[in-house]
Structure 1
Amino acid sequence: MNRLARPAGRRGAARVLLAATAALALVTGCSGSDEGDAKTKSKPAAGSEAFPVSLTNAWGKTEVEKKPVKVATVSDGDTSIALALGLVPVITPDAEDGGPVPEYKQRAVDKLGGKKLKTYDDTDGTDYEAIAAEAPDIILGMNTWSMDTDYAKLKPIAPVVTYADKKHADTLTWQERLTTAAKALGLTAEAEKVIAANDKATKDAAAAHPEFKDKTYTYAVVHPEQITFMSHADQDPGVFEQLGFRKTDKAKSYTAEKNAVSLENLDELEADVLLITYPFGDNGLLSAGELEKNKLFQSLDVVKKKHYAVVPSENTLSSAVAYPDALSSPWVVEKLTPILADAVAGK
């Protein structure tokens, strides 16, 4: 699953995951789609990037007459696309509610000159007036669930780059979203470099940790109402499996719709490696300390042998794992790999 614009903006890792309780796509990547990229056709033009560009989307066509300079975004994932391609948006939603910027985003901002991003309050959704005031050349909306409402109001402001089919809001990988946006921005070569760099980071980490290969894993999220079995059979492989891990046989018993693990069935979490995250803190079903005191939980081999670890939410890692994008993916590998290494080693 990609880190899409949430219906009321991203309100920290806890609210990010809450927005997707029923169908949160695990840890690391939405399912790919053969229908992926928006249909694109370019007219011949001088230079390496051809403009104008015509993109078919779920609401019509987007015509980009010349290479855009001023880019506005309507989701955190779209901000990541712009930054990954070397562009500082003229305006973005306030994904952090005025709080600290995630490390991976701050790195990109610093690399691009360190200027603080100009944001609008997205508590009540997209602020069309704030976007219009910046007179953008183009609006990126590849990572939003609210385009059905937004498109008609954004189109008069500037060309809107979004997905070709409404179901793509949930199914496109971050690579597909990045590639489509890059076509409209005239930055296809840069997008290819971003994807290649991410692939290299993951492959290098896997090569450095051969002990990961074929180890089974379970990933669970403690939501307010339940413990959620995130690594179900239909879930995309994502970073865990790219690093060499594989799902347990118990994963076949769970789906995006049927994913609750009761306290009486904690043995369903058994695996070579168990990872749990608590993004809701005190509002979760139970705390880390309470779960670790549970007798059944203590009886699991994975717990007794110390192959259990917590994926932190305070530094936005659990959110970035759930919603990978063009900017966060290498950082996820960087931060998650040592956690996995310690879990495999039983530290």
Structure 2
Amino acid sequence: MVAALGTVPVGVDEQWGGDEQGYTPWFRGTVEKLGGPLPEILNYGDAGEIDFEQILSLEPDLIVGLYSGVTDVQGRLTAVTAEHPEFKDKTFAYGLALTPGSTEVGLYLNYDARVRLLTEMDFKNTPSTESIASTAKGTNGYGGISLERLDTIEADVFVGWANGADEVPYTLKDPLFTRWKPIAGKNHAFVQDATLGMATSGPSALSVPWALERYVPMLADAVAGKGDRIGADS
């Protein structure tokens, strides 16, 4: 992150998937373009403790704790799974709300952050994800399924991303969409509040705790077949 902004760090953690020296090719290439020496790889003790003497010797002007606080977030997610055992192994599809002229539904793939946040709460992404992935274009994190074939997508719950409140009632009036099992059974939740949408589509150590307070009740309602709750705006 720092190298991408044009500054070569003086020390970095060993990079997962890196070469024998501990650097990924994209990081090494960026540092070479910047004309700086490769930074020291930070040392850790047997118990995982940081080598503070090494850091002091590097005399950094700034220390970036990129994943600071993630442990606490994981604890909160673990608490959600304990409080909501009904989430376990429920399959879901996370997709886009329909807009006028829509002939297909966009569904997010396994590597999308929205999907991964739900799997951290013991949900399982739809087993139909492979057929969806084959339709993804370029670097898109989602594929599409025609409304006529939507019933081939296996899901207990549908979570939808809406760009505005008008998209939700429009989606729920579509005759093909409403025949789909999770919609017919009211096992759905629509994220239509922009702030909640941002917090769950780009989850971070700060956004996840804030989002869970609003998101989890929506998901619980969806699992219980109380999908009349279609948003969160507070």
Calculate the TM-score normalised by the size of structure 1. 0.44
The 3-state SS of whatever aligns with 1:254 is: helix
Verify the 8 A CA contact 1:51 1:67 in the aligned structure 2. no
> How far apart, in 2, do the equivalents of 1:296 and 1:41 lie?
58
In the alignment, which of 153, 161, 184 is matched to residue 304 of structure 1? Answer: 184
Name the structure 2 match of 1:84. none
Structure with bigger gyration radius: 2
- In structure 2, the CA distance between the partners of 1:206 and 1:245, relative to structure 1 (3 Å rule), is same
The aligned amino acid for 1:209 is: H
Please report how far the alpha carbon of residue 211 of structure 1 lies from its aligned counterpart in structure 2 after TM superposition: 0.7
Return the offset for 1:233. 4.5
Q: Which structure carries more relative contact order (alpha carbon 8 Å, separation 6+)?
A: 1
Superposition deviation, residue 272 in structure 1: 0.6
Residue number in structure 1 paired with 2:83: 208
Specify whether residues 33 and 279 from structure 1 end up closer, same or farther in structure 2 by C-alpha distance, changes over 3 A only. Answer: farther
Q: Which amino acid aligns with 1:271?
A: A
Distance 2:179 2:42 in 1: 65
Partner of 2:107: 229
Please tell me whether residue 290 in structure 1 is matched to residue 177 in structure 2: no
Q: CA RMSD in A?
A: 3.3
User: Quick one: structure 1 residues 40 and 205, their matched pair in 2 at CA, closer, same or farther if it must change by over 3 Å?
Assistant: farther
- Give the structure 2 partner of residue 51 of structure 1: 56
Match of 1:320 in 2: 199
CA contact (8 A) 1:273 1:302 kept: yes
CA distance in 2, matches of 1:43, 1:342: 46
1:267 corresponding residue in structure 2 = 151
CA-CA distance at 1:52 after TM superposition? 5.2
TM-score (normalizing by structure 2): 0.63
C-alpha separation between the residues in 2 aligned to 1:33 and 1:42? 12
- Kindly provide the CA deviation profile for residues 224-262 of structure 1, in whole angstroms up to 9, marking residues without a partner as x: 6763111x2554652211111112221111224361233
C-alpha separation between the residues in 1 aligned to 2:41 and 2:220? 46
* C-alpha contact (below 8 Å) 1:220/1:276 kept by paired residues: yes
Mapped to 1, the partners of 2:221 and 2:190 lie a distance apart of 11
Structure 1 segment 1-347 matched on structure 2, within 5 A: 34-35=17-18, 40-41=39-40, 50-51=55-56, 53=58, 65-68=59-62, 184-185=63-64, 191-192=67-68, 194-222=69-97, 227-230=105-108, 232-233=109-110, 235=112, 238-255=116-133, 256-257=136-137, 259-279=143-163, 287-314=167-194, 316-347=195-226
Structure 1 unaligned segments of length 5 or more: list them: 1-31, 54-64, 69-183
Q: Structure 1, residues 191-224: CA drift from partner, whole Å, max 9, x if none?
A: 54x0110110100111111111111000002376
Number of matched residues?
179
Q: For 2:96 and 2:207, how far apart are their aligned partners in 1?
A: 20
- Structure 2 residue runs of 5 or longer lacking an equivalent are 1-14, 28-37, 44-50, 227-234
How far is 1:267 from its partner? Answer: 2.4
Deviation at 1:265, TM superposition (A): 2.9
TM-superposed deviation, 1:293:
1.2
Letter of the 1:248 partner, please give it. T
CA 1:43–1:216 in structure 2 vs 1: closer, same or farther (change >3 Å)? closer
Q: Partners of 1:278 and 1:343 in 2: how far apart? A: 16
2:149 and 2:70 mapped to 1: Cα distance? 40
The AA in structure 2 aligned to 1:279 is N
Q: Compared with structure 1, are the counterparts of its residues 43 and 325 closer, same or farther at alpha carbon in structure 2 (3 Å cutoff)?
A: closer
